[in-house]
Chains A and B, each alone.
Chain A
Amino acid sequence: EAQVTQNPRYLITVTGKKLTVTCSQNMNHEYMSWYRQDPGLGLRQIYYSMNVEVTDKGDVPEGYKVSRKEKRNFPLILESPSPNQTSLYFCASSLTVANTGELFFGEGSRLTVL
């Protein structure tokens, strides 16, 4: 089954404790992206990747890192999480970088930073 898989789905952590949210897609998609969703602010793009080893900042990249060492994986790294990073995070992918492809989303990862 074609899908985008995120882990963990739920996480409670403390300020400053590094964490990684993994994202994997099995559709051989070139483009992958991370978003956060906050009440009243909607979905905002954090980082995106056009292909292996090619990444760029979205609208709210501060406090996050990403890497794209393999085509299928695009982990989101929070080096020193803070309470303002408490949010619902989504990973998404699409087939090409031609910007015409349908975007597929993971189920989301709900992160709470205490």
Chain B
Amino acid sequence: KQEVTQIPAALSVPEGENLVLNCSFTDSAIYNLQWFRQDPGKGLTSLLLIQSSQREQTSGRLNASLDKSSGRSTLYIAASQPGDSATYLCAVRDDYKLSFGAGTTVTVRA
């Protein structure tokens, strides 16, 4: 059974600092890995999707890497802003199931 872990569970940084969020998974036979953002009481917004054959994906200030062999992905958010405060979830897809990590709650202090 796929286990997805996100460390740390919470993170607080001053505005302008770069954010590094980690995601690890136990079974490397995945189809893809997706990073989501969730605001309190809201749904999940897709940030980046990395296929199993890819090493990284970039969108604006966001960059996500994938090392399938070691079962790890990292989400980098450059020059953080207060609007980046949210919970970030990673999810891995294998077979027809999606397994989620518990998330990292980020607070960016102005």
On whether the beta carbons of A103 and B89 are closer than 8 Å, the reply is no
Q: Which listed segment binds A: B20-28, B60-68, B91-99?
A: B91-99
Q: Which residues of A contact B (CB under 8 A)?
A: 31, 33, 35, 40-45, 48, 50, 56, 58-59, 90, 92, 97-100, 102-108, 110
Q: Please tell me the number of chain B residues within 8 Å of chain A, measured between CB atoms.
A: 25
For B32, the chain A residues whose CB sits under 8 A away are: 99-100
Tell me whether A42 and B43 are in contact in the complex, defined as CB-CB below 8 angstroms, given that A56-B96, A99-B93, A100-B31 are known contacts: no
Query: How far is B34's CA from A43's CA once the two chains are assembled, in angstroms?
Result: 14
Q: Which residue of the partner chain, among B34, B43, B98, B99, contacts A106 with CB atoms under 8 Å? A: B43
Tell me whether A43 and B43 are in contact in the complex, defined as CB-CB below 8 angstroms, given that A100-B51, A103-B91 are known contacts: no
Q: Which residues of B contact A (CB under 8 A)?
A: 31-32, 34, 36, 41-46, 49, 51, 89, 91, 93-103
Query: How far is B94's CA from A58's CA once the two chains are assembled, in angstroms?
Result: 12
